[in-house]
């Protein structure tokens, strides 16, 4: 059985990371047998989760996990859509993963209240005397990465404006579809649902989450995906 290495449930979510939730959904879409297991940074080939252990073959990164499921196991994430539709899905996935992710991550890691009740939990296994020091060190690296990436240089209001722009684009393209590209589910739905869910997480004080909750089309879509792939999941 394949083993999907993830962080595990946190904050009322199936996983702390949207990339891990995306991978969980993709594997559920595939219909293949798999088991989620706690990741090890020591064994992670790219120093992050998720990564998949398929009989000793290790595949890191949610995108390459999807491609592996297609190539090695015949999974079909196209949903029957045209190349043009799938190109739109690719563009939206990149927007969420390479832009929106950093905006929502900023809210979690760099706002004090959210950090201490959220990401600080990741360091629970560290010795108690060292835990605050390690947490502050990692938080400092996140802050530096945000600055180098560029979005960390904006004000909170400017970051919110950018995040709302991303969400409005998702809502506009979703339209009245039951799934992102139309009436059938496809691989891009794993990305859209995962990033909406983690950004909307009620555990954190977040104007991004508030905006999602105030958009009925986004919440209805998210609920459909949760009901389909995580039935009975309690936040």
List CB contacts of 32: < 8 A, sequence separation 6 or more.
2, 69, 73, 75
The reply to whether 114 and 166 lie within a common domain is yes
Q: Is residue 234 part of a domain?
A: no
Closest CA to 49 of 72, 22, 71: 22
The Cα–Cα gap between 124 and 140 comes to 18
Number of domains in the chain: 2
- Residue-level pLDDT at 43: 92
- Residue-level pLDDT at 235: 72
The reply to whether 66 and 138 lie within a common domain is no
The reply to whether 145 and 225 lie within a common domain is yes
Residue ranges in the chain modelled with pLDDT below 70: none
Q: What is the pLDDT of residues 16-62, one digit of tens each?
A: 999 999 999 999 999 999 999 999 998 999 999 999 999 999 999 99
The reply to whether 221 and 168 lie within a common domain is yes
The Cα–Cα gap between 104 and 60 comes to 22
The reply to whether 123 and 47 lie within a common domain is no
Q: Is residue 206 part of a domain?
A: yes
3-state secondary structure of 221: helix
Q: Is residue 78 part of a domain?
A: no
Cβ-based neighbour number of residue 17 at 10 Å = 23
3-state secondary structure 136-195: HHHHHHHHHHHHHHCHHHCCHHHHHHHHHHHHHHHHHHHCCCCCCCCCCCCHHHHHHHHH
The domain of 27 spans: 2-73
């Amino acid at each position: 059985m394949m083993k999907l290495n993830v962080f595990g449930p946190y904050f009322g979510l199936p996983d702390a990371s949207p990339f891990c939730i995306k991978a969980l959904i993709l594997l559920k879409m595939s219909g293949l047998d798999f088991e989620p297991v706690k990741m090890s940074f020591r064994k992670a080939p790219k120093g992050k989760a998720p990564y998949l252990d398929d009989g000793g073959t290790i595949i890191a990164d949610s995108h390459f996990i999807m491609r592996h499921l297609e190539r090695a196991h015949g999974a079909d994430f196209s949903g029957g859509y045209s190349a043009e539709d799938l190109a739109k899905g690719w563009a939206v996935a990149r927007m969420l993963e390479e832009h929106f992710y950093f905006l929502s991550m900023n809210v979690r890691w760099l706002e004090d209240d959210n950090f201490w009740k959220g990401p600080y939990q990741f360091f629970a296994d560290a010795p108690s005397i060292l835990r605050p020091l390690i947490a502050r060190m990692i938080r400092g690296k996140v802050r530096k990465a945000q600055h180098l990436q560029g979005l960390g240089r904006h004000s909170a209001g400017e970051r919110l404006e950018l995040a709302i722009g991303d969400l409005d684009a998702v809502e506009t393209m979703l339209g009245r579809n039951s799934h992102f590209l139309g009436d059938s589910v496809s691989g891009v739905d794993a990305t859209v649902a995962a990033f909406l869910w983690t950004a909307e997480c009620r555990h954190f004080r977040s104007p991004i989450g508030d905006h999602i909750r105030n958009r009925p089309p986004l919440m209805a879509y998210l609920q459909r995906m949760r009901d389909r792939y995580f039935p009975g999941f309690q936040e």
